[in-house]
Amino acid sequence: MIEFENVSFSHGGGQVFRGVSARLAPGSFHFLTGPSGAGKTTLLNLCYGALRPQSGSIKVFGTDLKGRSRDQMAMLRRQIGVVHQDCQFLDHLPLLENIAMPLLVSGKEFSRISGDLKELVAWVGLSARADALPTELSGGERQRAALARAVIMSPDVILADEPTGNVDWEMSQRLMQLLTELNRMGKTVLLATHDLSLVRVAKAQVQARVLRISDKRLMLAGADL
């Protein structure tokens, strides 16, 4: 699904990664770990073309991102769902419409998607909050809403940036359950987290590999990739 080949990236005059090579196979589940500031968010941004590497190549669904037009990138991103750490929503719209936004932007009529949308909202446990404004939601509700919005286009890959970083342990486990369910449906999942206790619990539920950013390199279970 996503392949890095000898990728290096610098930002603000400093090198973030050097010589990173890795492959996320279809249907795989990977945790991305490392201390704050190690570059987890940067790596996720590289995965869907929000950032471009200074050297090396990144292939998504078999196609090199280098040289792709803005329209081509927009089409590709429909196959990748991203759960951002900051969970930004349009505060004047109710939850249901915020979740539906990717479909509405792609030209779908709200009346034609309302049935599937309600099923998705129920799946993340937010049916009772469908008419609430984003400012009325708790941290856990916002994270579940962000996950629903990320998967509404039925993407093949889900990138989640610290989705459990601002919620309690019980809600962290609920979010992990939703992500593991998506993985069992065949979705490729890459989840960035600093919570190693969550990784240990989750690995008992899903076959997952742990990637670690260390010394500007990407490591797998203690071995350089």
Domain boundary among 154, 171, 186: 154
Q: Which residue, chain included where needed, has tokens 């037009």? A: 69
Long-range contact pairs involving 13-16 (C-beta distance under 8 Å, separation at least 24): 15/216, 16/42, 16/216
Q: What per-residue confidence (pLDDT) applies to 225?
A: 47
Q: Which residue, chain included where needed, has tokens 């599937």? A: 116
Q: What per-residue confidence (pLDDT) applies to 189?
A: 95
Q: Are residues 4 and 64 in the same domain?
A: yes
- The span from the CA of 76 to the CA of 70, in Å, is 10
- The span from the CA of 39 to the CA of 171, in Å, is 25
Instruction: Name the residue type at position 53.
Output: P
Q: Are residues 162 and 192 in the same domain?
A: yes
Q: Are residues 125 and 164 in the same domain?
A: no
Could you tell me if residue 25 is inside a domain? yes
Q: Are residues 139 and 28 in the same domain?
A: no
Domain boundary among 111, 128, 154: 154
Domain containing residue 70? 1-79+157-225
CATH number of the domain to which 18 belongs: 3.40.50.300
Question: Is 113 in contact with 103 (CB distance < 8 Å)?
Answer: yes
Q: Are residues 164 and 74 in the same domain?
A: yes
Instruction: Name the residue type at position 176.
Output: M
Q: What per-residue confidence (pLDDT) applies to 43?
A: 94
What pTM value is reported for the model? Answer: 0.90
Could you tell me if residue 39 is inside a domain? yes
Q: What per-residue confidence (pLDDT) applies to 224?
A: 47
Any bridge partners for residue 184, and if so which?
none
Could you tell me if residue 73 is inside a domain? yes
Could you tell me if residue 106 is inside a domain? yes
Q: What per-residue confidence (pLDDT) applies to 112?
A: 63
Count of structural domains, the chain: 2
Long-range contact pairs involving 114-117 (C-beta distance under 8 Å, separation at least 24): 117/152
Q: What per-residue confidence (pLDDT) applies to 12?
A: 79
Q: Are residues 145 and 187 in the same domain?
A: no
85 three-state secondary structure = coil
Could you tell me if residue 161 is inside a domain? yes
Q: Are residues 137 and 172 in the same domain?
A: no
Q: Are residues 30 and 130 in the same domain?
A: no
Q: Are residues 149 and 164 in the same domain?
A: no
166 three-state secondary structure = coil
Q: What is the CA radius of gyration of the chain?
A: 17
Question: Is 144 in contact with 178 (CB distance < 8 Å)?
Answer: yes
Could you tell me if residue 84 is inside a domain? no
Could you tell me if residue 200 is inside a domain? yes
Q: Are residues 148 and 169 in the same domain?
A: no
Q: Are residues 51 and 15 in the same domain?
A: yes
Mean pLDDT by 10 residues, the chain (225 residues): 92 87 93 88 92 91 85 86 89 93 76 76 91 93 92 92 84 86 93 86 83 88 51
Q: Are residues 142 and 185 in the same domain?
A: no
Give residues with Cβ within 8 angstroms of 42, minimum separation 6: 9, 11, 16, 17, 51
